[in-house]
Structure 1
Amino acid sequence: MGDSKTGNATYRCIFQEDFKYILLPVAYSVVFVFGFILNIIALYIFIFQIRPWKVVTLFMFNLALSDLLYVLSLPLLAYYYSKANDWPFSEPLCKIVRFLFYTSLYCSILFLLCISFYRFLAVCYPIHFLQWGHIRYARITSITIWVVIIGIQSPILYFVSTSHMDDSTICHDTASIELFDQFVVYNTVTLVFLFCVPLTVLLACNSFMIYVLVTPTVPATQASKSKRKSVKMIMTVLVVFITCFLPYHVTRTLYYYYRKVDTAPCPTLDAVNAAYKSTRPFASLNSCIDPVLYFLVWRFRLVRNRRRNMTERES
């Protein structure tokens, strides 16, 4: 990549990133195809086949909606990277695509957090769950998440811009040289409140849930088997969340930091840049995995309800 200046730091580094012109278009295209189909199917099931909606259903519907909006931002990005960073569209469309990308990403993270927190209340604090586990509060929470995330991500429309380099038009995912320092501050705030805090809460809630579920109470029964399945589901959600989002946010933060400081040698900056670009597909992959988790949760609930009905009939 050509000359880049941020604050007092001037970089004249050539990034060895030809790999991203293959990796990102292929990854984004695959995620778009599978993510679009799977989330459309999930939304169809939520709208036409699940009645009445419970709190988890409402959060899953919003999660599927945010994942769908996320994958809709990928075709233009896939085309852009396949053309080796040449954006043939307008600057407003560049801003909208980047805004949609990040808005949907963080909505997905917060709705995953809501699902985990709701289950945490149901498992660990059933009395509070009866008080706060009403679908009215879930509706208010869902609307609040959309409004807050759209508000927090709106500066993207200000920071993101296009520029011309040689015969190409670059659609930046950061900011211009003059605004880069401000962008780093903004990114740090969003990182803390939209990723670090949700990650901490999710780890705490799920860890405590696992502790409660694995603590022996009575001899092994059908209920204890159900608890083991719940623990497996919780562990799966944790692994998916950490694998998809943690590497991306860590490498992105390091990339912004090393671009900002004036002591980073070119090989270090190149390595961090390569790591950041390589972890982008992981964040995108979550929009394909979420619908599979919906199916597993839905199937688990159906089996549990059938067993409960059979037990009631036998008694």
Structure 2
Amino acid sequence: GTIQRTLIPGTFLFILAMGLTLNMPVIWILMFRVKRWNRSTIFLCNLVLADISWILTLPFLIYYHLNQLHWIFGDTLCKITRTIYHVCYYCSIYFVTCLSVDRYLAIVHPLKSLWLLNKQQSLLICLSIWVATSLASVPVPFVASTQVCPDNKTICSLYVFSSSTYIMLLFSMCCTVVGCLLPFIAICYCYCSSVRTLQKTGLHHFQKRDKLTKLMYSVLIIFALLYFPYHLSRNTCIFLRALWPNGNRSIEHVDTVFFVEVAVCSLNTCINPLFCFLAGGDFRDQVCKIASSYWQNFSPIEINSKTPTAHEKVSVALPSGQSVLTSQFN
């Protein structure tokens, strides 16, 4: 329909431009400007890598939708594109969860966190997330593939539209629980416990508590607008296809909503850099330093146009640090 040929490629094009514009400076700052890496830096870096990996597949999808949903890149690239989306989408959720747990440990268990979660363990957790999410996404490339339509167009299908509806519904529900609901519960617990701990410490932590509250609200908004609607529309889409295998008018509307949600939930690649700014202390400091340096270099220089009078004295600096006072102008 019109939505798939105009709205979705337009949204993907916006995400491609904004996502690269926001994420590339973030990865550059993390790699070259942050001198000491800590737990949050490691999680932030993996979060950005997941976003960039997904963004780099968008040119293929943009061309696919603009080309009247005709896939010309072959079956292998179709499988790779769909799998990368699935892997990076859930990796992004898990790395946001890791950042929330990191804040929780630093505030609620500051001493235990030093040995409970060090840099080596953080790297191991990130590696485990990549491996576990990739293994959990194994069904995707087996189901997502190219299909030739009656009008000789080749489409790159999603596993949502597989004929094995009951198996795919079970797979989708498991992904929803393990990849969305459980991380959301963990994030809520971490932030609520952190805010409660800061409230007990007194007024001198008011500013820190205020920042953490804003961070918590931003994560809740991301889940409410991007993650929950996508999972709801995906599960509904598969469920209706299981009820009416031969098609139904309602399925067409749900399919349209699902395609829109696929595009909308990709906006998290543009929002996560802002989350990096809120969550990463060292990263935020480096951004402020770069912005301050940039502002100083391009700020107008004030020139004192006042010329010395005949009775003014001129001081000349010597290498020894002393100064010699010249005679008055006559």
The TM-score, its normalising length taken from structure 1, stands at 0.83
2:266 aligned counterpart, secondary structure: helix
Is residue 169 of structure 2 the alignment partner of residue 195 of structure 1?
no
Residue 241 in 1 paired to residue 227 in 2?
Answer: no
Aligned counterpart for 2:59 among listed residues 47, 64, 75: 75
Summarize the alignment of residues 220-259 of structure 1 with structure 2, pairs less than 5 Å apart.
Answer: 220-221=203-204, 223-259=205-241
| Residues 2-39 of structure 1 deviation map (CA, whole Å, 9 limit, x = unaligned) | xxxxxxxxxxxxxxx42222111001111011112221
Cα displacement (A) at 1:298 = 4.2
Q: How far did residue 217 of structure 1 move?
A: 4.1
**Deviation, structure 1 residue 263:** 8.9
What's 1:57 paired with? 41
Equivalent runs, 1:209-228 vs 2, <5 Å: 209-213=194-198, 215-218=199-202, 220-221=203-204, 223-228=205-210
Checking the alignment, whether the CA contact within 8 Å between 2:241 and 2:247 is kept in structure 1 is no
| Inter-CA distance 264–132: structure 2 relative to 1 (3 Å threshold) | farther
Does structure 2 retain, via aligned residues, the 8 Å contact 1:159–1:183? no
Match of 1:20 in 2: 4
Sort the Cα spacing of 1:50 and 1:190 in 2 relative to 1 into closer, same or farther, 3 A: same
Residue 47 of structure 1: aligned partner? 31
Using the TM superposition, give the Cα deviation of residue 84 of structure 1 relative to its aligned residue in structure 2, in angstroms: 2.5
1:63–1:49: structure 2 CA closer, same or farther, 3 Å change rule? same
In the alignment, which residue of structure 1 is the partner of 2:266?
A: 284
Which of 129-138 and 95-104 deviates more? Answer: 129-138
2:107 to 123, 126, 150: 123
1:173 corresponds to 2:155 = no
- The match for 2:125 is 141
Distance 1:100 1:188 in 2: 19
The structure showing larger relative contact order (alpha-carbon pairs under 8 Å, at least 6 residues apart) is 1
Residues 245 and 282 in structure 1, CA contact (< 8 A), matched pair in contact too: no
Cα distance in 1, alignment partners of residues 247 and 164 from structure 2:
22
Q: What is the aligned partner in structure 1 of residue 327 from structure 2?
A: none
Give 3-state SS (helix, strand or coil) of 1:163's partner. Answer: strand
- How far apart, in 2, do the equivalents of 1:24 and 1:18 lie? 9
> Deviation string for 1:226-263 (max 9, x for gaps)?
22122112212221233221111111111111111139
Contact 2:44 2:280 in 1 (8 A): no
3-state SS in 2 of match to 1:170: strand
What is the alpha-carbon distance in structure 2 between the residues aligned to residue 26 and residue 185 of structure 1? 32
Contact 2:8/2:65, CA 8 A, preserved across alignment: yes
* Equivalent position of 2:192 in the other structure: 207
CA contact (8 A) 2:90 2:133 kept: yes
Contact 2:146 2:154 in 1 (8 A): yes
1:210–1:20 Cα change, 3 Å: farther
How far apart are residue 192 of structure 1 and its match?
Answer: 1.9
Instruction: Report the alpha carbon displacement of residue 265 of structure 1 after superposing the two structures with TM.
Output: 7.7
Letter in 2 for 1:79: Y
Question: Helix, strand or coil for the counterpart of 1:126?
Answer: coil
Matched residues, number: 286
Task: Report the counterpart of residue 313 of structure 1 in structure 2.
Answer: none
Partner of residue 302, structure 1: 285
- Deviation of 1:211 (Å): 3.1
**Percent sequence identity over matched residues?**
26
Distance 1:193 1:30 in 2: 30
Query: In 1, Cα distance between the equivalents of 2:89 and 2:60?
Result: 16
Matching residue of 1:3: none
User: Where does the alignment leave 5 or more consecutive residues of structure 2 unmatched?
Assistant: 290-330
State yes or no: 1:163 paired with 2:150: no
SS in 1 for 2:35: coil
